[in-house]
Structure 1
Amino acid sequence: MKRKNKLTILFGLIVVTFIVIATSLYVSSNKDSETISELQTVDTKTLTKMIDSKENMVIVDLREPELFATSRVPGAINIPFDEIQSRYTELPKDKDVIFVCHTGRMGTESGNLLLENGYKNVFNLEGGIAEWTGNLEK
């Protein structure tokens, strides 16, 4: 009888050990998948500081080429919103990417697209160009 109890206890310990190991592996693999960054917002003041400090970044203006040609945030490139799904791979993953659009909605959508595709440091200009109070390039 004692031998049967010892085997039951040993079997129970093996099962518990297996569950602990499996759980820790599951948690650690989920931590890697949960490291998806969140879309960050910047205001005029913050983006101006980033531009002035020459941070390692790309500013993407999502507006139509005609509007981009009239005025834009200094240093911005133009990838219209209707092209971002097919052209986002042109953007470097090792730089901050800041989106500028009319009011911020398209920047949010574009930023989330990048985050879903492995980009880490993605920003959206809060309120878009409508809220921009800094200098503009022409």
Structure 2
Amino acid sequence: MDECEQLCNRLAIMTGGKFKCSGYVPDLKKRFGTGFTIKLKLKSEEDYVVNDVTEALCKIFDDCQLRENHAGMVTYFIKTIDDLKWSEVFTSMEAFSREWTHFVENYSVNETTLEDIFLKFENSQRRASAQQLRHSNEIEP
């Protein structure tokens, strides 16, 4: 998907043989992106550090989910509401980084990627297919 983002100015996404969306990359991100990711490089891989950092981030961002934890790198997905500004995100993260400097080595904030959008549609398709399969199994004796 990174190549699509760099090479294409318009894009269409298909899942299950059906078009789900098409448009310019920034428009697709705005329409179908539901948040952003924060990646932190921690100074320690210990569970209590990850738990403490996660708890602190969840106090800053209402809908914060730990997505990945590997080798001292943790990734969080933050589901956003429309009125959250990037300046507020960075101000909050700078304050967090200063306060948690004994645990956090560095951080990055990233917007929704095309891959995130594609996976959102793909997961939706899988859930619909599974639900349809369950429903058909309930009807047949």
TM-score tier after normalising by the smaller chain length: under 0.3
Q: Which structure's residues are more often strand, by fraction? A: 2
Q: Which structure dedicates a bigger proportion of its chain to helix?
A: 1
Q: TM-score, normalised by structure 1?
A: 0.25
Greater gyration radius: 1
